[in-house]
A and B are shown apart, each in its own frame.
Chain A
Amino acid sequence: MRVEPPATAEEAVPRERVDVAAIFAAHHIGLVRLALIMVGDLATAEDVVQEAFARTHAGLPRLRDPDKALTYVRSAVLNGCRSVLRRRAFAFRRRTPYEPPIWSAESAVLIGEERREVLAALQRLPRRQREALVLRYYLELSDLEIADVMGIGASTVRSTIARGIAALGRALKEEA
């Protein structure tokens, strides 16, 4: 437990506890949507967010900067998605029943073909490009915010997004 008394009254404010449950309650649907875009199916997306919720319960109360709480939570969800995708790379290890990803033809009722084409192309991008593009074009985060969530530098974010968009354009046969 952090027992040291805050040096000043101003300092006491950022050291206040972060209410993880409130953050998750406020952003639950948004986090599930983010996870869905990354992993492709709702059931897994829900699991990822639930797991991140359970895991960050322990860590967040000691977070130094409560303003970063949402960033931290998004990172946790993104990390959970990475783990899922990594596990899936070994198809033989998959124990859960197969659920078609939202970008597959089976999901045609939900999403139009043109959109699915984009999403499928996005899935084929390298992991970092894919994450950066989702954070920019879905969450509309700034370079700095993306850098924080992904734990990389802001200039890396810019170049990664530029390369990602270029690669996506090539995959979709758009004129660059």
Chain B
Amino acid sequence: MNEKVEARLRAALREAAETVDPAAVRPLLPPEPWVPARPPRHRRPVLAAAAAAAAVSAVAGGVLFARSAAPPAPEPPADESVALPYGTPLAEPGSGAAADVVVFLCHRGALAPACRDGKRPDEPARPATRREIDDVYRVLRARTEITAITFEDQETALENFRRRYRDNKLLTELTKAEDLPESFRIALAPGADPKPVIEAAEALPGVAQAVDLRCLERAKAREEAAEAAEARRAGRTPAPLDC
């Protein structure tokens, strides 16, 4: 083999690599836990499709990731959520009841098109106003299939996030309260269909996305199939979910 060529190649590669100043390299950002990697282009008229896409990517980015928490706890315990100023706690502390649907509100880092008013991705989103949040609460409150609503503020969201990803030090250290959205966590009556609730919530201004947690759990169960891992490795997208 040509040793001179090898030596020149080695030296050139080293010199190219050394142009990278470690101090100047952008730090890695923790992936957003549920926001679609590529927000759907369309707005309101195709909410169902957008929600399906969001659910799929939420599985990829968020719920799968939740398995790194030692006891698989897709939902923070109810006693950790702030019951004030909105709603009643989902359940008595420790009873194990969890939310069925989560309505995420717009925050500055939101990528959902509903929060962005057509802004470019590098601009901050418009956070939900107090009045919008009140309206969301009023609409949810009026729905008969909802049995309990809990409001989770950014501080509580951060606490729950830290607990869920407690063994990922980099992620928990990099994530700040303002990176996480406020949300309403909703329990539904047994057998109630979450779809109308999700559609009603997503139609309101200030709502980034409503997510069917039961659906995500089903999706997670499906993820167990080894094919899903293969599909991801091969870069293919799993088939869309039914919810």
Contacts and interface: CB of A to CB of B under 8 A. Distances in A.
Interface of A: 1-2, 17, 19-22, 24-25, 28-29, 32-34, 36-37, 42, 45-46, 49-50, 53-54, 57-59, 61-62, 79, 102-103, 110-112, 114-116, 118-119, 122, 133-134, 137-138, 162, 165-166, 168-169, 172, 174-176
A138 B14 contact: yes
Nearest to B32: A54
A21 B170 contact: yes
B229 interface: yes
Interface stretch (B5-13, B130-138, B196-204): B5-13
Nearest to A2: B224
Contacts of B27: 28
A60 B223 CA distance: 14
Contact of A137 (B4, B9, B31): B9
Given A138-B17, A162-B1, A168-B9, 19 more contacts: A1-B67, A1-B221, A21-B171, A28-B27, A32-B25, A34-B17, A36-B16, A42-B20, A42-B25, A54-B37, A61-B65, A62-B229, A111-B19, A119-B16, A137-B10, A138-B10, A174-B2, A174-B4, A175-B4
A140 to B, nearest CB: 9
Nearest to B20: A33
Interface string B192-229: 00000000000000000000000000001101100001
A12 B233 CA distance: 24
A112 B15 CA distance: 9
A18 to B, nearest CB: 10
Given A28-B25, A53-B28, A54-B37, A33 B5 contact: no
B13 A138 contact: yes
Given A165-B5, A169-B5, A176-B2, A50 B29 contact: yes
Given A46-B26, A53-B28, A137 B15 contact: no
Contacts of A20: 168
B61 interface: yes
A37 B17 contact: yes
B57 to A, nearest CB: 10
Contacts of B120: none
B85 interface: no
Interface of B: 1-2, 4-6, 8-17, 19-20, 22, 25-31, 37, 60-61, 64-65, 67-68, 72, 167-171, 220-221, 223-224, 229, 232-233, 235
A21 to B, nearest CB: 4
The 10 closest A-B pairs by CB, nearest first: A118-B12, A21-B170, A33-B17, A138-B13, A54-B31, A115-B12, A169-B5, A169-B2, A58-B64, A29-B22
A20 B223 CA distance: 19
23 contacts: A1-B220, A1-B224, A22-B170, A25-B28, A36-B19, A37-B17, A42-B19, A49-B28, A57-B61, A57-B65, A58-B60, A58-B232, A111-B19, A112-B15, A114-B8, A115-B11, A119-B12, A137-B9, A166-B2, A169-B5, A172-B5, A172-B8, A174-B8
Contacts of A19: 167-168
B28 A134 contact: no
A111 B229 CA distance: 42
B9 A32 contact: no
A114 B22 CA distance: 24
B26 A59 contact: no
A165 B13 CA distance: 14
